A and B are shown apart, each in its own frame.
Chain A
Amino acid sequence: MYRATFGELPALGVGLGFRRPYLADIFQHRESIDFLEIIADHYLGPSRKTEEELGLLAQHFTLLPHGLNLSIGSAEGIDAGYLQKMARLVRKIDPPWWSEHLGFTRAGGMHIGQFSPLPYTRAAIEVVCRNMDRVKRVIDAPLMLENITYMVSLPMAEMTEGDFLAEVVERTGCGILLDVTNLHINAINHRFGPQDYLGRLPLERIVQLHFAGVEAQDGLLIDSHAQPTGPEIWDLLQTVLARAPVRGMILERDENLPPVEGLLDELRRARDMGREAGRWQ
């Protein structure tokens, strides 16, 4: 279903992962922010205040919902209640696409509380495909799956992470939200080349990018989303933009919040990169 629509997805440009402390700033600098990515889980409940906030944001920006708890890799299946709430949200804001993580957050009926990586096996691919069939019956907007970071490489892998992601999107018809920072972190922590990883992916499926700064802790890189974007990330972004028909990029910043001007500088730089690569005007 999605294969036929990738070429028709709009080029959105460069936007910001919406965080409430920046609410007034995004209105004051609306012309510098092309679109917003919202944490879908913040808007799934019936609170009047969040409904009003969602309405206000939707009036001013294209919104892309980014889910946290779909748990597309759960062997026990998708939570029906969560899926229905997500469907309602997607119908309400009618985004060009939405996104989730290629991993799982639930197992044995319990919430793990963080994204856990899937084993890169054929059995895991079957689980994801089965869950995606259910999702597609309820939500017809295109879904982009994001690569997550992982501290431990699970044993008994039958393929590389890149091959796993490639086969999942091929079988499910999803697109890719390539988190360039996560790719860099995994490449350093697990000693593989990001170019090799990119070489495995169907580049035409890379619709959206995430980028953020990295932090080092105990000899490993972590995706804290608490630092400015570093030079190695900018280099990797340039490589991806040159090769993939990216439609949108989102800067993520969750902690150690700087003055908004710092974020706007990063958005400007990313926008210029995308323009030079011919991704948007």
Chain B
Amino acid sequence: MDILRAIDNMHGPVFLLAYGAFVAAVIAIVALAQRLRDPTRGLPPPLVPSSPDPYEIAFLRGGKNEVTRLAIFELVGKGHLHVLAPGKEPKDWQVDRSSGSLGQSCDGTSIQRRVFGAVQKPTKAAEIFSGGVPGQLDEYLTPYDARLKEEQLLANADMVARGRRVYVGGLGLMAAPGLFKLATALAEHRGNIFFLVVMAVIAVSVYTGAASPPRTTARGRAYLRSLQLAYASTERSKESSLGTRESSPTRLPEPSISGSSSPGLAMAAAPVALLPAIFGFEVLEGTSFDSLKQMFSQGSRGGAGCGAGCGGGCGGCGGCGGCGG
């Protein structure tokens, strides 16, 4: 009761400062706890495969949103979609079909076909996510989800449940003093609660970003890091396979990635889609796909948002920030 009395009697600005420090401490402790209780910490990552699946990697890194982005990248690269840029603002840019159908050349299994099918007319990036396109890929992503959980690269249901309990517990602890102060202020008809409300909104947002149970395990993050190291030289020479900003999107041959950075080297047998799959759409900056990078870094702000799209909170998307890029 003493502590409640102390909170009640605390002068507004003093309370805000103290509460701010308390919130920061809770966020740091819970975020650290979420990492430390990961049972895969210290486990060596899987070996880098000879033929990595870009869609599996994209799913590991950023969930169904990242897979959707990757499919659009390949569809643009193969000439089935193209980017319309009616104005200067990337959030207004659209992808549209270049042809009525995919023909024979596209991957018949599906992810690309489903995404292509969802683009019936010029469509903004935000509309792709808010229109539920990523959700239409669930049936194709279930095998990836199962395998990645079996390999302990994604958190399984048990880990997620325990992580949520920690999250909820920490949220309650963090919110309690603020709610008490708010309640006493309202009970005493004090109206100076604006800053408290703003702080609460910011605190919950930051807490969710930092302390949500991670979707990717420590082993999964180590595996992604291995892939990034293994393909670092390819990333440095991205213009040789992805073209430069001044050119139209490079038509992607099949198969197509340069494993080596020296000019004039023949392409080794690995898909160019590996680059955005491993490094994210940021890798497209400065290449002939730069417009896609700009478009999707804006897209989510008007769309479903990180939490809904990534299925685990922005902090768990392994690079969600922002969900569109």
Contacts and interface: CB of A to CB of B under 8 A. Distances in A.
Nearest to B269: A28
A257 B237 CA distance: 15
B44 A59 contact: yes
Contacts of B193: none
Nearest to B234: A24
B50 A28 contact: yes
A264 to B, nearest CB: 10
Contacts of A27: 48-50, 230
Interface in B45-80: 45, 47-51
Contacts of B257: 24
Interface in A214-240: none
A155 interface: no
A263 to B, nearest CB: 10
Nearest to B48: A27
Nearest to A262: B266
Nearest to A257: B262
Contact of A259 (B50, B232, B266): B266
Nearest to B265: A259
Interface string A27-70: 11111000000000000000000001100100110000000000
B47 A24 contact: no
Is the contact region of chain B dominated by helix, strand, or loop, or is it mixed?
loop
A24 B260 contact: yes
A53 B265 contact: no
A30 B231 contact: no
A182 B86 CA distance: 63
Interface stretch (A15-23, A95-103, A129-137, A140-148): A15-23
B230 A260 contact: no
Contacts of A25: 259-260, 268
B229 interface: yes
Q: Identify the interface centre among A21, A29, A52: most chain B CB within 10 Å of its CB.
A: A21
Contacts of A21: 233, 260-262
A261 interface: yes
Contacts, number: 67
A28 B262 CA distance: 17
Given A25-B259, A25-B260, A56-B230, A260 B50 contact: no
A28 B225 CA distance: 17
B259 A24 contact: yes
A24 B50 contact: no
A28 B44 CA distance: 20
Nearest to B235: A24
Interface string A199-214: 0000000000000000
Interface in B182-240: 225-226, 229-234
Contact of B268 (A20, A59, A259): A259
A28 B47 contact: no
B233 A260 contact: no
Contact of B50 (A30, A53, A258, A261): A30
A211 to B, nearest CB: 21
Contacts of A60: 47-48
B117 to A, nearest CB: 32
A96 B289 CA distance: 47
B9 to A, nearest CB: 50
B266 A28 contact: no
Contacts of B225: 52
B262 to A, nearest CB: 5
Nearest to B47: A60
Contacts of A258: 265
B270 A23 contact: no
A257 B233 contact: no
A29 B50 contact: yes
B255 to A, nearest CB: 10
Interface of B: 44-45, 47-51, 225-226, 229-234, 257, 259-262, 265-266, 268-270
25 contacts: A21-B260, A21-B262, A22-B259, A23-B232, A24-B268, A27-B48, A27-B49, A27-B50, A28-B51, A28-B259, A28-B268, A28-B269, A29-B268, A30-B50, A52-B229, A56-B48, A56-B229, A59-B44, A59-B47, A59-B226, A60-B47, A60-B48, A257-B262, A259-B266, A260-B268
Lowest 8 CB-CB distances: which A-B pairs, in order? A24-B259, A25-B259, A259-B266, A257-B262, A21-B260, A27-B48, A23-B233, A24-B234
Interface of A: 20-25, 27-31, 52-53, 56, 59-60, 257-261
